[in-house]
Amino acid sequence: MPHTVLLAEDDRAIRHALERALTLEGYRVTAVADGVEALAQAHTAPPDVLVLDVMMPGIDGLQVCRVLRAEGDRTPILMLTALVETQDRIAGLDAGADDYVVKPFDVEEVFARLRALLRRTGQGGTGGAAVDVPKKQEPEQVPERYMEAAGLRMDPQARRAWRGERELELTRTEFELLELLVRNAGIVLDHATIYDRIWGYDFGPGSKNLAVYVGYLRRKLDEPGAPPLIHTVRGVGYVLRED
């Protein structure tokens, strides 16, 4: 069965062009012009993935994302944005988006990011219902599931993470990036390796995607007076260690 995409874009030309491109790529696309229609469609027929324009009249893409996440919907979301500042991208991640593409974009990049999102979530046409949202439980009940490094503790099965006693609120991509760093604690991972493992695609030396996610993850990890955990190795990549 083809994967289903819910596309919300208020620019008619972009919406029609992207709808056609996605259809030719083999997706089954529902295209709407605003956030109200996007929420209605997401509730009526949950898609495998959502593609949301950030700036739409009325309910914008960020609000759509926040509503769905507040409802417990974990369907992957790719944001389309003309805003290039780091804080604008962080706003999308903070709202619960999994990835973003900056306009003007190459449609092949959109395809690559959608493939990576669907591959990472393991969805096969069942939309958000395919994602298992684990019940809250005390970590002491399942100690064999833990990974620990540099003062961090992770439970990959429940997709939960802690620094000390503080539980971290992470998006899907942030969790997977942190898990990769924890599994390779003390080892410098180059940009290409991280892109391949997390996104399944190397977006090239000009991409700031990884730097944005690392910066956002640092904001959630770092604590006043405590040493930073993610270190930049200039010209190479990143490493998790407690200095």
- pLDDT confidence bin for 205, thresholds 50/70/90: low
- Average pLDDT for residues 203-223, to the nearest whole number? 81
Structurally, what CATH architecture does the domain formed by 147-240 represent? Orthogonal Bundle (1.10)
Look up tokens 């306009």; give the residue. 103
Closest CA to 53 of 10, 114, 109: 10
C-beta of residue 86 within 8 angstroms of C-beta of residue 206: no
Per the prediction, the chain carries an average pLDDT of 82
Look up tokens 């993935």; give the residue. 49
Total-model pTM: 0.57
- Average pLDDT for residues 200-209, to the nearest whole number? 68
Bridge partners (DSSP) listed for residue 4: 28
C-beta of residue 172 within 8 angstroms of C-beta of residue 186: no
The pLDDT, as a whole number, for residue 137 is 44
Q: Compute the distance between CA of residue 42 and CA of residue 6 in angstroms, rounded to an integer.
A: 8
The pLDDT, as a whole number, for residue 146 is 80
- Top CATH class of 4-121 equals alpha beta
Q: Which of 24-33, 179-188, 190-199 has the highest mean pLDDT?
A: 24-33
The pLDDT, as a whole number, for residue 132 is 41
Exposure on the CB side of residue 115, measured as CA atoms within 13 A: 13
48/185: higher pLDDT: 48
Give yes or no on whether 4-121 and 147-240 have one common fold. no
Predicted confidence (pLDDT) per residue in 60-111, tens digit: 888 898 889 888 888 999 988 876 666 666 777 778 888 888 888 888 889 9
CA angle 55, 102, 192 (to 5 degrees): 145
Predicted confidence (pLDDT) per residue in 127-182, tens digit: 333 334 343 444 444 345 788 888 899 998 888 899 988 999 988 888 889 998 98
The pLDDT, as a whole number, for residue 143 is 43
The pLDDT, as a whole number, for residue 29 is 95
**Residue spans per domain, the chain:** 4-121, 147-240
121/238: higher pLDDT: 238
209/156: higher pLDDT: 156
